[in-house]
A and B are shown apart, each in its own frame.
Chain A
């Protein structure tokens, strides 16, 4: 019940295309859903996060879509660029209890020119 399932494991997209990464969870107590971006040899950096009181959050080319009834959330990267090539992790936690941040297994995104 603590797992966060992430797919796909890897994704190849052409420049200008849309990248979509999906995550699903079981624990209905989760109420904070961040996405992290990690470049090789670096630590993950927070990209965007959402709470379940909204169904969508957009920051620039990055959008989180959230479906509370299906217990699923996804990251959409519009107009994907080669600089977006990185590994993306979804995560979930119970707010203010960040010692229980549960990570997905990651998606390696490659954007080709």
Chain B
């Protein structure tokens, strides 16, 4: 079955630590996205990538970094510069004229 796999499902970060969230898709989609979801604030775009080796900042990119070395993979690193990282992180992908398909998210908490 085609889909988007996010891992891990739960992640804990210590102060000053960088952590990386994984997102893999086998839908052959060119475009991939990272969103942050906080209660009462909907989904906010962190970064997106329309092709391999290229990505753009979304609305809340500060404290985050991404890479897109393969079409299938779009990992998100939450750096120590992100002072309020506790949230539910969602990865999505899309193809031409398709709606965005989402993974089941990673919940990040601070130890």
Q: Is B41 an interface residue (CB 8 A)?
A: yes
Q: For the complex, would chain B's binding face be called helix, strand, loop or mixed by DSSP majority? A: strand
Given contacts A89-B43, A104-B42, A106-B40, contact A42 B105 (CB under 8 A): yes
| In the complex, chain A residues 30-44 whose Cβ is within 8 Å of any chain B Cβ | 34, 36, 41-44
> CB-nearest residue of chain A relative to B56?
A99
**Any chain B CB within 8 A of the CB of A45?**
yes
**With the chains together, A11 CA to B89 CA distance in Å?**
25
CA distance A12 to B30 in the complex (A): 39
Are A49's CB and B99's CB within 8 A? yes
Cross-chain contact of A43 among B41, B94, B103 (Cβ < 8 A): B103
Contact in complex: B48, A99 (CB < 8 Å)? yes
Q: CB of A22 within 8 A of chain B?
A: no
Known A99-B31, A99-B48, A99-B50; contact A43-B42, beta-carbon cutoff 8 A: no
Cβ of B97 under 8 Å from chain A: yes
Give the total of B residues in contact with A, Cβ under 8 Å.
26
Contacts of B33 in A (CB 8 A): 99
B75-99 to A contact mask, C-beta < 8 Å, 1/0 = 0000000000000001010101111
Minimum CB–CB distance for A15 against chain B, Å? 26
- Taking CB atoms, residues of chain B closer than 8 Å to A43 are 4, 6, 90, 92, 102-105
Beta-carbon contacts of B50-77 to A below 8 Å, as 1s and 0s? Answer: 1000001000000000000000000000
Give the contacting residue for B99; candidates A42, A46, A103; CB below 8 A: A46
Interface residues of B (CB under 8 A from A): 4, 6, 31, 33, 40-43, 45, 48, 50, 56, 90, 92, 94, 96-105, 107
Q: Which residues of A line the B interface, CB within 8 A? A: 6, 9, 34, 36, 41-46, 49, 89, 95-96, 98-99, 101, 103-106
